Amino acid sequence: MLLAQLLPAALAYWLCACIAALLRRLQARMYRVLRHNLAHVAASDSTASQLDAMAEQALALALRTYYESFRSTATGGRWQVEMIVPTDCTLLRRDNGIESRGMMICGLHIANFDAAGAWLAQHGIDVQVLSLANPDPGTEMINTLRRKQGLHITPVDPGALRAAIRRLRAGGLVLTGIDRPADGGNQPLTFFGETTAMPVGHVRLAMQAGVPVVLMACYQQAPGVYCLACSDPIKMQHTGDRSADTSANATRLLALAEVFIRKAPEQWLVFVPVWPPEA
């Protein structure tokens, strides 16, 4: 953390690129997982060398976001990045008092998603963030940083889920990621044309609380410059068949997530295999 405070951004970004190149040459697990996932989402005519380069770009971006997060914590939560928020963003309408419904925010692991969460907190938009139920030490360290930035982080357990439903029904916001397998409760769903186990808890929460869902992503436009992107509120389907509705709603949200990810696949930063590795 002290190193992040001392290093100027230009030097830190250069070091991140160098480390990413080294991890590519070493075929480190982080690099291999990113490349595995990219092979499923990149254009079908992408060559092996193009996938290699995209995975290296993604890894360098991930390292830059870690630097930015540590630097913000070392400087009292003040982010040294620029966040561009379109005027038609659903969450900006809420900040202006126009939108007051409870909403389930489904975040995508694109570029500096932590900066997006910090932007919400800094604008007084109180959000409960549902995180992994059993975080590893690395994830717990990141969660500690997120708490210091003003986010209300709650690992998934029965108490956190009950609190989330109460919050949603009272007009509040709950955020969770939807583009990677969860610790449990996954269902076979179609994602980028292939069936894989993906979470549906966000859909169940939205259906039970009777609130719409908003997809959110944070794209890098230039080093240290990000743009927040949000969908319009999406109403959940209710036909009376809860199981079928859960699958249909989750599939519909993943289809929209595909659109978000395809805009910048090299910025999609998921460090677990989303699809089973090939035999």
Query: Which residues, at least 6 apart from 185, have a Cβ–Cβ distance to it below 8 Å?
Result: 199, 200, 201
As given in the structure block, the two tokens for residue 2 are 């002290």
How many whole angstroms separate alpha carbon 143 and alpha carbon 93?
Answer: 27
As given in the structure block, the two tokens for residue 112 are 């500096």
Find, among 257, 236, 230, 256, the residue nearest to 93 by Cα: 230
Find, among 104, 93, 102, 268, the residue nearest to 191 by Cα: 268
| Contact (CB, 8 A) for 116 and 218 | yes
- Find the Cα–Cα–Cα–Cα dihedral 39, 56, 139, 81, rounded to 10°: -120
Give 21 or 4, the one with higher predicted confidence. Answer: 21
* Model confidence pLDDT, tens digit, residues 150-183: 778 888 889 999 999 999 999 999 999 999 998 8
| pTM of model > 0.75 | yes
What pLDDT is attached to residue 173? 93
* Model confidence pLDDT, tens digit, residues 70-129: 887 655 556 677 889 888 777 766 555 545 679 999 999 999 988 888 888 888 888 899
Q: How many CA atoms lie within 13 A of 155 on its CB side?
A: 12
